[in-house]
Structure 1
Amino acid sequence: MFIKDDFLIFKDQTLDGRLKKIKTIIDPKFEKVGAELLPFLEEQLGIKMYLHIAKHARRSKNPPPDTWMAFSENKRGYKMMPHFEIGYWDDRLFIWLSALADIKDKSLYEEGVSESIIMIQKLENTFVWSVDHTNKETGTLANTITLTDSQKWSSVQTKELLIGQNLAIEDEFFSLNEYKQLNDLKNTLLPLIEIYKIWTKKTSH
């Protein structure tokens, strides 16, 4: 499913060329994997979830440096609330639980985010955290996060919080068959789902 050759789309430096490759090569994979992960997420969370695939509709000059699919409780969008993302940079696949700056009222989630810090600190060393979804290099070991970091997220509107894994292009993941890749993705999502439950406890259905 996800293979090393997928990253070749980023060699195309033209807007139209890269967008076409994303639409024809990557998006069908997102559709297929998304159809497998949606029922898994719904079963784990006990709520209806929706798949959103990046359209890059506002791009008019530069080709997108990354592309992704997101899973959200909201049928109309995902950035305005905590959500899950899986996507490509030019050298890695990312799997994130994300709370972006687009969340207008962070007070809805600040208590849950603070309560989740201990759980995040106990994640395996393969998990990282980031404060900026637009910078692929910001990942730091998840066990280094502190309560102060969560307070900064809730008090500074531009701060973001992403917890998850980054799989480098050299990772053995890209040599696995489809079944094993899906299993790995589910295993990565499981602890993130538990954190999501804590983050959204005041707003989940």
Structure 2
Amino acid sequence: MFNGFNDNDFDVFKIEGLDERMKQLIALIRPKLEDLGKEYSAELTSLTGEEMHFHVAKHARRTVNPPKDTWVAFAPNKRGYKMLPHFQIGLFETHVFIWYAVIYEAPMKEALSSKMLKSLPVIKKKIPSDFVWSPDHMKPDAVPHSQLKKSGLEELVQRLGNVKKAELLCGVHVPREKAVKMDKSEWQSLLSDTFAKLMPLYEINKQL
């Protein structure tokens, strides 16, 4: 059962070398991601109305560079998640992220972009101002919703449909300093609340 993250989890990303980092990632972080997958696949199934399966990142394609982050993803497909809009819980060295994500492998990006553009007034209203947006799941940076509400969000959504490698992620960042102090009940509250508030984005996807 997931009880939270600690400094040792974040320090994994300071370890030099692919094999060395992966060894500690598998030992320290992956069991927690497995627990999160088991705990929140049922909750997301209830929220979305679709059977959600969890997928813990394996980083199997890496041969040289060690991963800078890791995660568990949730999607309505047993075999994979990258081709579908999905949810993620994971961490970089600096923070934990909780995302609704559409990444570059998703084939319906153009249709989803068009649908989201029509729904922008609803998105701007329903997404909390302290949530953040990112155009690239491989980079730790993100921009607060409050800064994008005027014109930036429209550009981000348009880019999703126009640029082959474009991505779109929305959710919450929890700084490392705060994350290591959070207990099990605080994580439960935050994760449940975040997923519930991301549902308007997922509902747009279900309308395709």
TM-score, normalised via structure 1 length: 0.90
Partner of 2:194: 188
2:153 is aligned with 1:149: no
SS in 1 for 2:128: coil
Q: Which runs of 5+ in 1 are unaligned?
A: none
TM-aligned CA distance change 1:148 to 1:65, over 3 Å: closer
Aligned amino acid, residue 102 of structure 1: E
Partner of 2:206: 200
Aligned residues: 200
Aligned counterpart for 2:184 among listed residues 175, 178, 203: 178
Aligned amino acid, residue 134 of structure 1: M
TM-aligned CA distance change 1:10 to 1:149, over 3 Å: closer
Q: Which runs of 5+ in 2 are unaligned?
A: none
Q: Is the 8 A contact 2:135 2:156 kept in 1?
A: no
Separation (CA, whole Å) in 2 of partners of 1:23 and 1:2: 14
Aligned counterpart for 1:106 among listed residues 105, 109, 125: 109
TM-aligned CA distance change 1:4 to 1:106, over 3 Å: same
Separation (CA, whole Å) in 1 of partners of 2:75 and 2:41: 10
Aligned counterpart for 1:168 among listed residues 175, 186, 202: 175
- Runs of 4 or more, structure 1, over 3 Å off, are none
Q: How does 1:53-92 map to 2 (within 5 A)?
A: 53-92=56-95
Aligned amino acid, residue 147 of structure 1: E
Aligned amino acid, residue 129 of structure 2: N
SS in 1 for 2:177: coil
Q: CA deviation at 1:174?
A: 2.6
SS in 1 for 2:180: helix
2:50 is aligned with 1:43: no
Identity across the alignment (%)? 35
Partner of 2:131: 127
Separation (CA, whole Å) in 2 of partners of 1:121 and 1:174: 31
Separation (CA, whole Å) in 1 of partners of 2:183 and 2:58: 27
SS in 1 for 2:137: coil
Separation (CA, whole Å) in 2 of partners of 1:8 and 1:146: 33
Q: Is the 8 A contact 1:120 1:142 kept in 2?
A: no
Q: CA deviation at 1:88?
A: 1.0
Q: CA deviation at 1:164?
A: 0.8
